[in-house]
Amino acid sequence: MKIVIMLIVAYLLGSIPSGVIIGKLFFHTDIRDAGSGNIGTTNTYRVLGPTAGTIVMAMDILKGTLAAAQPVVLYHMSNRYTLLVGLAAILGHTFSIYIGFKGGKAVATSAGILLAYNWEFFLIASAIMFSLVYLTSMVSVASMASLTIVSLIAIFGYRDPILSVVAVVLTIFIFYRHRTNIGRIKAGTESMVPFGVGYHRRQSKSK
């Protein structure tokens, strides 16, 4: 029964549409009607600016961490349950009950779950993610590549079977959620953040 309650709470926490809330409360803008229409960090950054984007990223990470930390903090259960409960938060973020079962791509929320499970690995994964964002200037590419690298580290570095399985499942899920981005990447039309190596190379070519 405890697991069921935690899964429900995790889903409801994950369902909180941070981007929609920040956009409507402080900018009187529904980000679902602008940019890519996504409710996550990247589209918030693109539509509302870096401050709003950073706040949304922090909120999405936090809700993943709070959701996943329930077994350990509330019931003193084994840490392995954090990943199981955390998956419900990812479903919530992706299929939010508050906005008609639509949502984002769950990259930041996944990072929050990893923070609850292993904070050291979270720092490593974050460093990989931000490095790839800087190198490619494409959050979509960085997200898919970093999840792939994280999965390999979990399998061959940490040799953690539970983390490895969850990481691989999340990687497949993230690739699926980015399927439209993959088409734009192949066509060379994927949006870039306005900084980094990839952005400057594209700017140089356009001159």
**Amino acid (one-letter) located at 37:** G
Q: Would you report the helix, strand and coil content of the chain in percent, each value rounded to 5?
A: 80, 0, 20
| Gyration radius (Cα) of the chain, Å | 17
State the 10-residue block means of pLDDT for the chain, 207 residues long. Answer: 95 97 96 91 92 96 97 91 96 97 95 96 97 96 96 94 94 94 92 90 81
CB 61 within 8 A of CB 107: no
pLDDT of residue 53: 94
pLDDT of residue 207: 66
Q: What is the pTM of this model?
A: 0.94
pLDDT of residue 112: 97
Report the alpha-carbon distance of residue 57 to residue 61 in Å, rounded.
6
pLDDT of residue 202: 86
